[in-house]
Amino acid sequence: MSPHAPALRPRTELVAWRNAIFVIFTLSGLSIATWAARLPEIKQNLDVTTGSIGILILGMSAGSILGLMASAWLMARFGARTGMVFSLGCVAIGLAIIGIGAGVVFSPVLVFIGLALFGFGNGSVDVMMNVEGAAAETELGKTVLPLMHAFFSVGTVIGAGIGAAASALGIGVVWHAAAMAAIVALAVVVAVRYVPVREDLGDSTQAHSHKQDWKARLRSSLAVWADLRLILIGVIMLGMAFAEGSANDWLALASVEGHGLTEPTGALVFGVFVSAMTVGRVAGGPLIDRFGRVRVLQVSAVSAVVGLLAFILGADLWIVIGGTILWGLGSALGFPLGMSAAAEGANAAARVSAVAMIGYLAFLVGPPLIGLLGDQVGLLNALFVVLVLVVLSGLASPAARERKAEPAAPVPSA
């Protein structure tokens, strides 16, 4: 079992903290699925080409990168609690703007602005919720970050279902987006009430708090990039994030264009991957506590490599499906495990923030890279790049070995 610091709070407070982060992960997934589920109608309403939709999505990607870059400053200046409210507030406002742009004024420019704000909010909250999740996991004394990431997947499933229902019932994009924006904004305000005040993240509400020290916290956050072990943990997350992100964007299309499957079957293959990842994350925590991070990461890398080879080279549908399952299971735990490993030691928040940025940048940069390579050598052959990165992730896995828990600082009084 991985070592953890002793709990500093009553069990009821820890459970409430954990559940609040579950909600925030779910809200992020819900928001992303809301946009994705209504994309066909948005395209039709705006009367634009597929290439124009690509430009709109570029706005979201650019916003996400800016959000990732801003997350360390936001946490240092305002704390994670306020930062998460601000970030998901940006997500809610962005959703509302997207709805107005696509459902009322039919303006691609307004939708682009909404997507940029939406991406900024999701990019920055991704880091903060992982920082809080890793801290909650440490005090709980058992691995829960994989389950938190599973709640993100649950949010995407719920969001996709709501989107499909709204479309089937003829509910306009503007009303659907407005309703989801209200849910996200209200839910995060309620959820953060159960996230404890942590002075190391600038959350102190005392009049004599250390808000003036935010520049020092920011410098401390940037200093962790000199830690070689942390960079190797980032390599683990880089490979696994490439494996997950590339599947999310290209698996269905690779199934159709590379293996000659029908579009419904390609969608089914993608569903198999997402289901395998969700199962892996739900079941992963106890396995990690029993066998340790390094062994689980090594087995995960082998599973992903075998799965990718089977998917790329498989001639029969059952081989492709089997490979997809192994690929999904192998990709499930690398990202949350990297978060857990980064959280050990001094300046945990800064360390988690750093590796989260590496991982999420891979999510953003990886899929376009696969697409560009796919134009030259075909999508299936382009996936060999993912395979190489997963191998590197497996080789770097010893960097995630559990360390002995260090004495924790006392909880500041509110």
* Ranges of CATH 1.20.1250.20 domains, the chain: 1-196, 222-402
How far apart are alpha carbons 108 and 380 in whole angstroms? Answer: 33
From the number of C-beta atoms within 10 Å of its C-beta (0-12, 13-18, 19+), residue 77 rates as: middle
Residue 405 — left, alpha, or beta (φ > 0 → left; ψ -120 to 50 → alpha)? beta
How far apart are alpha carbons 381 and 293 in whole angstroms? Answer: 31
SS3 content of the chain, % helix, strand, coil (to 5): 85, 0, 15
* Amino acid letter, residue 287: L
pLDDT at 99 over 90: yes
Average pLDDT over residues 216-236: 77
SS (H, E, C) 155-181: HHHHHHHHHHHHHHCCCCHHHHHHHHH
% of the chain beyond a pLDDT of 90: 36
Contact partners, residue 288, CB within 8 Å, separation at least 6: 2, 143, 146, 296, 333, 337, 340
Asked if 250 and 385 count as a contact pair (C-beta separation under 8 A), the reply is: no
Asked if 148 and 22 count as a contact pair (C-beta separation under 8 A), the reply is: yes
> In this structure, what are the phi and psi dihedrals at residue 411, rounded to the nearest 5 degrees?
-75, 130
Instruction: Name the residue with higher pLDDT: 400 or 1.
Output: 400
Which pLDDT score, from 0 to 100, does residue 275 have?
Answer: 84
Residue 32, both tokens: 């992303």
For residue 105, the surrounding DSSP H or E stretch is none
Instruction: Name the residue with higher pLDDT: 167 or 384.
Output: 384
Residue 326, both tokens: 């192994």
Residue 386, both tokens: 């993912």
Look at domain 1-196 and name its CATH class: mainly alpha
- Distances 135 to 20, 58, 131, 231 between C-alpha atoms, Å: 13, 33, 6, 20
Closest by CA position to 387, among listed 242, 250, 272, 256: 242
How far apart are alpha carbons 265 and 192 in whole angstroms? Answer: 41
Average pLDDT over residues 369-382: 83
The domain 222-402 is classified under which CATH number: 3.40.430.10, 1.20.1250.20, 3.40.50.1000, 1.10.357.10?
Answer: 1.20.1250.20
- Distances 287 to 92, 193, 360 between C-alpha atoms, Å: 36, 31, 25
Residue 396, both tokens: 């770097």
- Distances 337 to 192, 309, 356 between C-alpha atoms, Å: 24, 24, 11
Asked if 330 and 307 count as a contact pair (C-beta separation under 8 A), the reply is: yes
Residue 339, both tokens: 């978060």
- pLDDT tens for 14-72 read 999 999 999 999 999 899 888 877 887 888 899 988 678 778 878 888 898 888 888 87
Residue 261, both tokens: 């499957």
Asked if 307 and 328 count as a contact pair (C-beta separation under 8 A), the reply is: yes
pLDDT at 100 over 80: yes
If you average pLDDT over every residue of the chain, what do you get? 84
Average pLDDT over residues 253-272: 81
Which pLDDT score, from 0 to 100, does residue 361 have?
Answer: 74
Contact partners, residue 100, CB within 8 Å, separation at least 6: 110, 114, 174, 177
- Computed on alpha carbons and rounded to an integer, the radius of gyration of the chain in Å comes to 21
DSSP string, 291-302: H-HHHHHHHHHH
pLDDT at 80 over 80: yes
- pLDDT tens for 203-213 read 554 444 444 46
